[in-house]
Amino acid sequence: MPFLLPEKYHFRHQYTFFLHDILAKIVTVGEKEAHFNHILQIENVEHQKILNSRKQEETFDTLTELGYSDQIDLLSEDQKKPWEAINDFSSNELSKNS
């Protein structure tokens, strides 16, 4: 519908859809390849109880406190994978528009 917008907003309108497509790609690739699903290797039952009692937002801090920095590193690596798909997607989109 850019024809309904004043011409000075056409680029902003198209750019917004481009960003939307990138974010949608992050979610779809991440879900499809299970990048958002993580299994933590916590063998100490007491540590599992502590993690379960904390809010989800406190997971990284709690893992650090309990000495599981290696688990955080693994989670961080998994989080990079959807971004790799974005790089591919944006490169393809930019080459199409050239």
Angle subtended by helix axes 10-32 and 69-97, to nearest 10: 140
Structural domains of the chain, count: 1
User: What CA–CA distance (Å, rounded) separates 33 from 19?
Assistant: 21
pLDDT for position 76: 72
Are the beta carbons of 60 and 30 closer than 8 angstroms?
Answer: no
Summarize pLDDT for 23-52 with one digit per residue, the tens.
Answer: 888 888 888 888 777 788 888 999 999 989
Range of the domain at 70: 2-97
Residue 27: alpha-carbon gap to chain centroid:
7
Among residues of the chain, what percentage have pLDDT more than 70?
76
Banded model confidence at residue 12, pLDDT cuts 50, 70, 90? very high
pTM of the entire predicted model: 0.48
Q: Which helix (DSSP H) or strand (DSSP E) does residue 98 occupy? A: none
Say yes or no to pLDDT of 16 above 50: yes
pLDDT for position 27: 85
